[in-house]
């Protein structure tokens, strides 16, 4: 799923109010962090992570490594934090994020 600029802006706005739940430390991205990210994305769809100063990865590198492993999209990387999004496939999910759709002009 490729996010549009409007959808990224919508998700960035929503991300302002969420807490950081993923911490990338000196060990980088291992199986446990990927599992934690997958579980969080399934439950919340939008998650925020932070890269500690002692990590060998930059926040951009961490997001770019983690996104394909979790089948998620990078919404934003700013400072030491990054935001990932993956829509939930649960049909009964009550707090599902509904993204705006880009409408193209027809002539």
State pLDDT tens for residues 27-55: 999 999 999 999 999 999 999 999 999 99
| Domain ranges (residues) in the chain | 5-85
Whether the per-residue pLDDT at 107 is higher than 50: the answer is no
Percentage above 90 pLDDT, the chain: 78
Name 23's bridge partners. 50
Q: Which CATH superfamily is domain 5-85 in?
A: YhbY-like (3.30.110.60)
**Over the stretch 62-76, which tens digit does the pLDDT of each residue have?**
999 999 999 999 999
Distance in angstroms (rounded) separating the CA atoms of residues 95 and 28: 31
Sheet-wide strand order for 46-51 = 20-24, 46-51, 81-85, 73-78
Tell me, what's the pLDDT at 74? 97
Instruction: Using DSSP, state whether 13 is helix, strand or coil.
Output: helix
Percentage above 70 pLDDT, the chain: 91
Distance in angstroms (rounded) separating the CA atoms of residues 52 and 37: 16
Q: How confident is the model at residue 96 (pLDDT cuts 50, 70, 90)?
A: confident
> Minimal CA–CA distance to 41: which of 49, 52, 29?
49
């Amino acid at each position: 799923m490729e996010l549009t600029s409007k959808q990224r802006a919508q998700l960035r706005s929503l991300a302002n109010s969420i807490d950081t739940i993923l911490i990338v430390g000196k060990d980088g991205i291992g199986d446990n962090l990927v599992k934690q990210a997958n579980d969080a994305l399934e439950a919340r769809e939008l998650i925020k992570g932070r890269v500690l100063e002692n990590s060998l990865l930059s926040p951009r590198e961490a997001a770019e490594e983690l996104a394909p492993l979790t089948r998620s999209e990078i919404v934003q990387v700013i400072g030491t934090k990054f935001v990932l999004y993956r829509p939930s496939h649960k049909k009964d999910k009550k707090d599902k994020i509904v993204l705006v759709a880009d409408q193209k002009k027809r002539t």
